[in-house]
Amino acid sequence: MPTRPDLIARLTQAGIIAIVRAPRAAQVEPLFGALLAGGLNAIEITLTTPNALEAIREARAKIGARAVTGVGTVLQAEDCRAALAAGAEFVVTPVCRPELVAIAHAAGRPIMLGAYTPTEAQTAHEAGADFVKIFPADKLGPGYIKALRGPLPHLRLVPTGGVDVPNVADFLKAGCAALGVGTALVSPALLQAGDWPELTRRAAAFVAAVRAAREGAFSH
């Protein structure tokens, strides 16, 4: 079983964490397959997915180590415990929930606490969060991340909301540990149509953007 440091490293290396709000649990397997085919191997199933716990179990059973499968939109301790018991390999909250850190760490799993302000981000870090999810990031942009990391360079920030292929490089250059991507990758229309080839194409575009940004950073 991978350790918490192993999982942290895999999420950071992935660069993109796909956020899945599937309307039907039956879509989880083809959805994962399409993302993996595009090179994305860090996937968060939100608790807003019908039968989310069963979806996590199914993904872990059928996908196994090919992807790091986590749970998102976690607000309550009992939901956190249930998702971890179902096999979730990381936990993500939309808001700052410091009380969930001990639960995730006791299971040997990393946790990403949600924050919006500098105070919330530092509070999440001091609570022991492995990552801090900046949400919603669509109105804040890469400039906010850069400003935040000026006085708080120790934060492992993961912006979510507003991340798209054209701004991947800007967010990574601003110092993000990884990027959470939802509708820009797995849109409701795409899920409705079950257009898995298009999802693979989008996943590959995000992977290519991360690679190009990192290669650009290393070449300077």
Whether 133 is a known active-site residue: answer: yes
Here the contacts of 52-56 (C-beta below 8 Å, separation 24 or greater) are 52/25, 52/83, 53/82, 53/83, 53/86, 54/25, 54/86, 55/22, 55/25, 55/28, 56/83, 56/86, 56/87, 56/88
For the chain, domain boundaries: 4-215
pLDDT reported for residue 190: 95
- The model carries a pTM of 0.95
Pick the catalytic residue from 29, 44, 146, 173: 44
Do 131 and 178 meet the contact criterion of CB atoms below 8 Å apart? yes
Confirm whether 62 is a catalytic residue: no
* pLDDT digit string (tens) for the chain, length 220 residues: 899 999 999 999 999 999 998 888 788 889 999 999 999 999 999 999 989 999 999 999 999 999 999 999 999 999 999 999 999 999 999 999 999 999 999 999 999 999 999 999 999 999 999 999 999 999 999 999 999 999 999 999 999 999 999 999 999 999 999 999 999 999 999 999 999 999 999 999 999 999 999 998 655 4
Q: How far apart are CA 150 and CA 83, in angstroms?
A: 35
What angle in degrees, to the nearest 10, is found between the helix axes of 28-37 and 52-63? 50
CB 183 within 8 A of CB 20: no
Query: Catalytic one among 29, 78, 126, 133?
Result: 133
The CATH number for 4-215, chosen from 3.40.190.10, 3.60.21.70, 3.90.550.10, 3.20.20.70, is 3.20.20.70
Q: From CA 205, how far away is CA 201, in angstroms rounded?
A: 6
How far are the Cα atoms of 14, 57, 87, 105, 152 from residue 82, in angstroms, in the given order?
25, 11, 9, 14, 33
